[in-house]
Amino acid sequence: MATTLTATWAALVHAHPDAIALVEAANARSWTRAELNAHAEKWRAGLPASVIGRRVTFALPNGPDWFAAFLGLLLADAVPAPLDSSEPASAQRTLALAAGAAFAWIDGRLESVQSNPIGYFDPATCLVKLTSGSTGRPHALAFTHAQMLADGRQVCATMGITPDDLNFAVIPFGHSYGLGNLVVPLLAQGTAIVCAGVPLPHALAADIARWKPTVFPAVPALLRVLASADLPANALAPLRTIISAGAPLSPEIAQAFHAQFSLTPHSFYGSSETGGVTYDRSGEATLAGHSVGTPLDGVTLAPICGRRIRVTSPAVFQRGSFSPADQASLNACGELVLLGRTGRLVKIAGRRLDLADLEHTLRALPDIRDAFVVPHPQTPEELAAVIATSLRPDALKTLLRTRLASWKMPRRLVIIAEFPLTARGKPDTRALRALLAC
């Protein structure tokens, strides 16, 4: 069995060069394996020799260019570090420093980021994931080909995803979720991908009706919007498997989705450090809100002190064992029950976010005196914030859009002149939460 992503992909291209690998729903363009591979080879040819053994960041939307960049860097013996495509250029440069990158692909050209990047190169390394990118203290995690292949294969084996399936891509390729459920299944076993066009309910339903994908890796926000849209009961009929990850899926959303489409969502839990951890194979625990399922094939869970779980599998970075930040327990059926997060860590759009550090980042912006950020009271997979500033709403939103990726923007913004204080002179968080609940 091939031991690298590039070797598994090369074997697939050689075996069936004319097989469809990727479809762009927005323009109805289909890419065969051979065409996608040629696109990557062309991308590699444009890279300088100085990228060899170096980390290179890039921020591209889902599509053939993303795969060309990712595969092109691997073929050039560089280490890709994918970023969120909505990151502003200034944020990309900052994240490139955090990733230990020598170069960053920004606005169609390769920029030199630092003269003394991380100096070692392990040929087994195939990519770098960045966690907590919005906190000001992101962590760079280097993964090997073997670890990424293990994650993708464990996901496919557990979820029953085969080479004949068609994945529906709305989640970003570069997130840990997208890498394990979309990217690796294509490169390792040839599971083709339809890249969604406009991420609105009726447009998504139209893409599904036309291209007939069978597997939909989703997030709770997408399922909530689809369940509440005016769509016919058979709108998603081609789909066989609905996966929900990135944030806890409430039983209310799962039940509403099932009632609308007669399709059962399956909770999936994982982290950047571990890849996939658990999956609700039947979907019954998801509908009841009991758990996020049992361990994936190849994954072992063990309780440790402080209501934490240690994850062991071939997909876990470094030494194969890691304890995520979530508080959790194993129930009598061996299912993982999430109990909340340590500190003020939350997940927004599938990315880990430290709310305290985000507040610190906001306070450093011009004309912002103070900031308080919490999960949105109605849609906890989004953010709500109180900002103390003299800026007008339009000016504040413009400022935030130039400094933050779109998924980091608070959906609800309350602007006040000064924060209310407690008798001890500290910000009155109860009063601030009340403002956001109005």
Percentage of the chain surpassing pLDDT 90?
75
- Judge whether residue 2 has pLDDT over 80: no
Q: With respect to residue 172, please indicate whether it lies within any of the assigned structural domains.
A: no
User: Is the residue at 427 inside a domain?
Assistant: yes
Nearest residue to 182 (alpha-carbon basis) of 131, 218, 217: 217
Given this model, what pLDDT does residue 133 score?
44
Q: How confident is the model at residue 438 (pLDDT cuts 50, 70, 90)?
A: confident
Alpha-carbon distances, residue 370 vs 256, 297, 386, 389, 397 (angstroms): 38, 47, 8, 7, 15
> Which residues form the domain of 409?
347-437
259-280 confidence digits (pLDDT tens): 999 999 999 999 999 999 999 9
CB count, 10 Å around CB of 18? 8
Q: Which of 178, 54, 32 is nearest to 120 (CA)?
A: 54
pLDDT of residue 30: 98
DSSP E strand boundaries for 132-179: 139-144, 166-169
Q: What is the Cα–Cα distance from 384 to 390, expressed in whole angstroms?
A: 19
Separation of alpha carbons 196 and 171, rounded Å: 9
Give a yes or no: residue 178 inside a domain: no
Asked whether 413 and 397 are in contact (CB, 8 A), the reply is yes
Residue 387 lies in a domain: yes
Whether the per-residue pLDDT at 14 is higher than 90: the answer is yes
Helix (H, G, I), strand (E, B) or coil at 107: coil
pLDDT band at 426 (very low <50, low <70, confident <90, very high): low
Q: What tokens were used for 421?
A: 């204080």
Residue 162 falls within a domain, yes or no?
no
The answer, yes or no, to whether residue 183 has pLDDT greater than 60, is yes
Residue 407 lies in a domain: yes
Is residue 53 a part of any domain in this protein? no
Q: How many domains are contained in the chain? A: 1
Instruction: Give the least confident one: 187-196, 353-362, 393-402.
Output: 353-362
* Domain of residue 378, CATH code: 3.30.300.30
**Interatomic CA distance for residues 328 and 295, integer angstroms:** 13
Question: Six-digit token pair at 355?
Answer: 């709310």
Mean pLDDT for the stretch of residues 130-148: 78
- Chain mean position to CA 249: 15
Q: What is the pLDDT of residues 313-357, one digit of tens each?
A: 999 998 899 999 888 999 999 999 988 666 677 888 778 787 877
Mean pLDDT, the chain, integer: 92
* Tokens of residue 403, six digits: 């400094």
The answer to whether the pTM exceeds 0.75 is yes
- pLDDT of the residue at 34: 98
pLDDT at residue 161, as a whole number: 98
Q: Using one digit for the tens of pLDDT, what is the confidence trace for 57-115?
A: 999 999 999 999 999 999 999 999 999 898 899 989 999 999 999 999 999 999 999 87
Report how far residue 179's alpha carbon sits from residue 350's, in angstroms, rounded to the nearest whole number: 12
Q: Enumerate the β-bridge partners of residue 167.
A: 193, 215
Q: How far apart are CA 114 and CA 182, in angstroms?
A: 31
Interhelix angle 5-15/33-45, rounded to 10 degrees, is 130
State the Cα–Cα distance between residues 436 and 409, nearest whole angstrom. Answer: 15
Identify the helix (H) or strand (E) that includes residue 406.
none
Question: Is 48 inside any structural domain?
Answer: no
pLDDT tens-digit map of 19-63 = 999 999 999 999 999 999 999 999 999 999 999 999 999 999 999
Residue 118 has pLDDT above 80, yes or no: no
